[in-house]
Structure 1
Amino acid sequence: MNGVVYYRPEDAKTNAGFIRMLKEAADRAGHGLELVTERGKIPDSADFVLFRDRDPELAHELEAAGHRLFNRAQVNRVANDKYATYELALLLGLPTVPTRRVAHPDEIRSYPSVLKTIDGHGGTEVVRCLDKMDAGWFFSRHAGRRIIGQPFIESGAADVRLFMIGEEAVGAVKRTGSNGFKSNYTLGGRADPFSPTAGMEEAAAKIARALKSDYIGVDFLLLPDGGFLLNEIEDPVGSRSLYDTSEVNIADRIMQRIAEQMK
C-alpha cells in the first residue's frame, strides 16, 4: 500500500521531524509514504492521502477525485470553523464555551470578552478584549474575516488536549501558557502529561464518532469546580506536545489506523 502525506510547503518545513516519523512508521508497517507539497501533484495511484492542511475545499476536491483522505473533508471543515464546532457540541449535548458570531464591536454584550477569527489556528488570531477599544482594534486588524465572540472563562491559562485515533484517546496533555491567557504549545506554553477524566474521554469519543474522524485533537478548558468545557477541535492536530511528554508513538498509531481502515 502506497500513500501520500500532503502539507503546504511552509508547513512541511516546520513539520520536517514529524514527516520523518511518519515515513519511518510507514516503513515499519511495510507501506510507502511520499511527501507532496503541491496541490496538483498528488498521484492518482496513491492508495490514501494523509491530509495535513487546513483547506476543506481542497480536501473535497481530492475526495471527489476518488482519494481516501485521513481525515475526511468534513472533519477538516468542522474543525477549522469554530462556530461549526460550537454547533456540533450543542447538537451532541456537550458542555462547551458559549459562542456567538459577531460582525461589529457593538454586538459584544459584556467584557472581558474573547474574540477569535473563525478559521484561525495556533492561538495567533485570538485576543482577550477588556473594552470596546480592544474589540475595535481586533475587528480592524481582521477586516473581512468571520469572527466569533466568547465570554472570558478563567482557566488558569490552561487547557487539556486529547489526541484521538478513531474513538480512542491515545494520549493527553495539559497545556499551560507562559504569558497571558493562551495555552498553545507553539506559543511557548508548557505541556505536561495528563490523565483525562472519564467524562472528557466520553465527550471526545462522541465527537470523533459523529465526525467519523481518524486523527484529531479535542481541546477542553478546565473549570475551577473540576468540570470542563469543549473549546476547539484540531485538524490537522500537531503532536509535538504529545511525543515530547510521553512514550506514545503517534506516527505508528496513525499508520495502524490507516491500515485498519483501508482493509
Structure 2
Amino acid sequence: MGKYGLVIYKQHEITRNKRFINMLQQHCLDKELHLEVMAYEQLCIHLSKTKYIAGPLNEKLHYDFVINRSATPWLNEVLELAGIRCFNTAYVARIANDKRLTHAVLSNIDVPMLSSTAVHKHYFLDKKQVPQEKMIIKDPLGKGGTGVKLAEAPEEIHGLSTTLSDNLLVQPVGGQKGKDLRVYIVGNHIVGAVLRESATDFRANVSMGGSARLYELNQAEKRLVSLITDAIHLDFVGIDFLIDDDGHLLFNEMEDAVGCRSLYIHSSIDIAAIFASYIAKELQK
C-alpha cells in the first residue's frame, strides 16, 4: 500500500513550477507515493489538541509526508507536532528562510562568509552608524535575489530607506561581481552544482538575466559543503556561495525551496527523481 503526500506552493508559484511539480508527482508515483498539490492560501490547519489538515468541506485529510515549498517554516513546525514528516525539517526550513539565522548558524561552525550584521533600518537614521564603504543590504526573508540592494555611498542609505524592509542583513561588498555558485543537496549528498554569472548585475540570479553552466566541484569545495552537511541534515536545498578573488567559496545563502531550472537546462541530472527516491527511503525508516 502506498503513502500519501502533499506538496505546497504559494498560489502564484504553482503555474511557474508546474513542470517540476509534474515530474515530482510522476517520480513519486513510481515509488508508490501519491503526491497531491495544494496552494498555501487554500490550507486549513487545525491547531488545537487534534492537529490535522482539512479539505474544502472540512474533512480530515491524512498525509504521511509534506513537501513545503512555500517558504513558511511555521507550517513545518506545526506539521511535525502532528507527527507528519516534512521535507525539509522544521529546523532547516526555519534557518534557511531567514538569512540572519543561516549566517549565525553556519558562522558557528566556521563556514567562511562575509561579515554579516542584522539591524533594523532605523539603525541607519543615525548617520554615525552608517558604514562609509559600499555595502549590500538584504531583506533577510527575501528570495531569488529580491530585496537585495547595493549602496555605493553612505548617503544612498536614506534614499533607499523607503524601499527597505524593517529588518535587514548588511554585508560589505565582496566576492567576484555577478558570479556565484549554487550547490544542490539531496539527503545530505551533493547532486550537482551550477555556476551562475551576470555581466549586467551584481546579482547572478538567472531569473534576473544571468547565465548558468554546470560546475565540477574540487575537493576543497566538497570539503566545505561537507562541513555544512556534517552539522545539519539537509533533505533538499540549494546552498549558494560567492567566489572571492582567489577563487575560494564564501557562503551566501541557503534556499529551502530551491529552484532547479538551471540544473535541468545544463545537465542530464533529474533531481526530482533523486528526491523522490530519497523520500521513499526516508519513509521506510
Measured against aligned partners, the alpha-carbon deviations of 1:203-226 in whole angstroms (never above 9, x if no partner) come to 223323423220011111111212
Structure 1 gaps of 5+ residues are none
The residue number in structure 2 matching 1:121 is 143
Runs of 4+ in 1 over 6 A off after TM superposition: none
Residue 114 of structure 2 corresponds to which residue in structure 1? 97
CA contact (8 A) 1:176 1:190 kept: yes
Q: Is the 8 A contact 2:5 2:67 kept in 1?
A: yes
Whole-angstrom CA distance in 1 between matches of 2:37 and 2:82: 19
Tell me how far apart the structure 1 counterparts of residues 61 and 219 of structure 2 sit (CA, whole Å): 42
Residue matched to 2:94: 77
Q: Distance in 1 between matches of 2:162 and 2:89?
A: 34
Amino acid at match of 2:275: I
Task: Name the SS for the 1:140 alignment partner.
Answer: coil
Q: CA deviation at 1:178?
A: 4.1
Give the whole-Å Cα distance in 2 for the aligned partners of 1:209 and 1:6.
Answer: 28
For the residues of structure 1 that align with 2:182 and 2:67, how far apart are their CA atoms? 21
Who is 2:272 aligned against? Answer: 251
TM-score (norm 2): 0.87
Q: Is 1:59–2:76 an aligned residue pair?
A: yes
Distance in 1 (CA, whole Å) between partners of 2:207 and 2:93 is: 20
User: What is the TM-score when the length of structure 1 is the normalising length?
Assistant: 0.94
CA contact (8 A) 1:166 1:209 kept: no
How many residue pairs get aligned? The number is 262
Matches within 5 A, 1:106-185: 106=127, 107-143=129-165, 145-185=166-206
Larger deviation, residues 54-63 vs 101-110? 101-110
Check if 1:39 corresponds to 2:61: no
Residue identity over aligned pairs, in percent, reads 31
RMSD value, Cα: 1.6
Say which SS state the counterpart of residue 2 (structure 1) adopts: strand
Aligned match for 2:239, one of 204, 218, 221:
218
Per-residue displacement from partner, 1:110-152 (whole Å, max 9, x unpaired)? 3211000111111111011011232223322124x21011000
Question: Counterpart in 1 of 2:57?
Answer: none
Aligned partners of 1:158 and 1:183 also within 8 Å: yes
Shift of residue 40, structure 1, vs aligned partner: 1.6
- Once the two structures are superposed, residues 81-125 of structure 1 have per-residue CA deviations (whole angstroms, 9 ceiling, x without a partner) of 111111112111111121011233343323211000111111111
How many angstroms apart in 2 are the aligned matches of 1:211 and 1:227?
Answer: 22
The SS at the match of 2:184 is strand
Q: Which residue pairs with 2:56 in the alignment?
A: none
